[in-house]
Amino acid sequence: MSFFGLDCTRKKEREVERKIRANDREYNSSFKYATNSIKTSKYNPFTFLPLNLFEQFQRIANAYFLFLLILQVIPAISSLSWFTTVVPLVLVLTVTAAKDAIDDIVREVCCEPPNNRLDRFTGTLTFGTQKYSLDNERVLLRGCTLRNTDWCFGLVLFAGPETKLMQNCGKSTFKRTSIDRLMNILVLFIFGLLALMCIILAVGNGIWENHAGSKFNAFLPREENTAFSAFLTFWSYIIILNTVVPISLYVSMEVIRLGNSYYINWDRNMYHARTDTPAEARTTTLNEELGQIKYIFSDKTGTLTQNIMTFNKCSINGKSYGQDQSHMHQLFIIFIVDFSFNRLADPKFFFYDHTLVEAIKLELPDAHAFFRLLALCHTVMAEEKKEGDLVYQAQSPDEGALVTAARNFGFVFRSRSPETVTIEEMGIQRSYELLAILDFNNVRKRMSVIVRNPEGKLSLYCKGADTIIYERLHPSCSELMKFAGEGLRTLVLAYKDLDEEYFSEWKQRHHESSVALEDREEKLEKLYEEIEKDMMLIGATAIEDKLQDGVAQTIEQLTKAEIKIWVLTGDKQETAENIGYSCNLLREEMNEVFFVAFALESNMELEFLRTACMCRTVICCRVTPLQKAQVVELVKKYKKAVTLAIGDGANDVSMIKAAHIGVGISGQEGMQAVLSSDFSFAQFRFLQRLLLVHGRWSYLRMCKFLRYFFYKNFTFTFVHFWYAFFCGFSAQTVYDEGFITLYNLVYTALPVLGMSLFDQDVNAGWSLEYPQLYVPGQLSQYFSKRAFVMCALHSWYSSLVLFFVPYAATYDTARDDGKDGADYQSFALITQTCLTVTVCVQLGLDLSYWTVVNHLFVWGSLGMFFILTFTMYTDGLFQLRPSSFAFIGKQGLHVAFHCICNVYDISHTVFHTNFQEKSHCHSRNGLMFLFLTLQSHFFLQMKNTELHSEFRILHLKRM
Q: What is the Rg, in whole angstroms, of the alpha carbon atoms belonging to the chain?
A: 37
301 annotated as ligand-binding: yes
| 203: Cα within 13 Å, side-chain hemisphere | 5
Single out the residue of 730, 735, 956 nearest to residue 832, CA to CA.
Answer: 735
The amino acid sitting at 74 is I
For residue 447, give the nearest of 488, 494, 506 by alpha carbon.
Answer: 494
Is residue 354 helix, strand or coil?
helix
- 570 among annotated binding-site residues: yes
Q: Please say if 299 is a catalytic residue.
A: yes
Strands 123-127 and 130-134: antiparallel
Residue 419 CB contacts under 8 Å (≥ 6 apart), including other chains: 433, 434
Q: What is the DSSP string of 528-570?
A: HHHHS-SBEEEEEEEEEEEEPTTHHHHHHHHHHTT-EEEEE-S
How many whole angstroms separate alpha carbon 39 and alpha carbon 33?
Answer: 16
827 is in an annotated binding site: no
Distance, in Å, from the CA atom of 857 to the CA atom of 951, rounded to the nearest integer, reads: 30
Please tell me whether 648 is known to bind a ligand: yes
C-alpha pair distances (Å), 958 with each of 617, 634, 954 = 21, 32, 6
- Euclidean distance between CA atoms 486 and 274, whole angstroms: 30
361 a known binding residue? no
Cα separation, 840 vs 716, in Å, equals 13
CB-CB contact of 756 with 704 (8 Å): yes
Return the HEC string of 662-720.
EEEECECCECHHHHHCCEEECCCCHHHHHHHHHHHHHHHHHHHHHHHHHHHHHHHHHHH
Asked if residues 277 and 666 have their Cβ atoms less than 8 Å apart, the reply is yes
- CA-nearest of 648, 654, 649 to 632 is 654
Q: Is 885 annotated as a binding residue?
A: no
Single out the residue of 141, 161, 287 nearest to residue 699, CA to CA.
287
Find residue 473's DSSP bridge partners: 535
Q: Would the annotation count 440 as a binding residue?
A: yes
**Alpha-carbon span 586 to 565, nearest angstrom:** 11
Report which residue type is found at 390: L
Distance in angstroms (rounded) separating the CA atoms of residues 786 and 952: 20
Q: What are the residues facing 315 on neighbouring strands?
A: 320, 540
In a 3-state reduction of DSSP, which class is residue 788? helix
Closest CA to 490 of 552, 401, 407: 401
622 labeled part of a ligand binding site: yes
In DSSP terms, 543 is beta-bridged to 311, 489
End-to-end CA distance of the chain: 69
463 is in an annotated binding site: yes
| Per annotation, catalytic residue among 135, 267, 299, 678 | 299
For residue 434, the one-letter residue type is L
Which residues of 790-848 form beta strands (DSSP E)? none
Q: Please state whether beta strands 389-393 and 642-647 pair in parallel, antiparallel, or not at all (unpaired).
A: unpaired
Catalytic residues: 299
Binding-site sequence positions for Mg(2+): 299, 301, 648, 652
Binding-site sequence positions: 299-301, 399, 440, 463, 489, 569-571, 622, 628, 648, 651-652
Binding-site sequence positions for ATP: 299-301, 399, 440, 463, 489, 569-571, 622, 628, 651-652
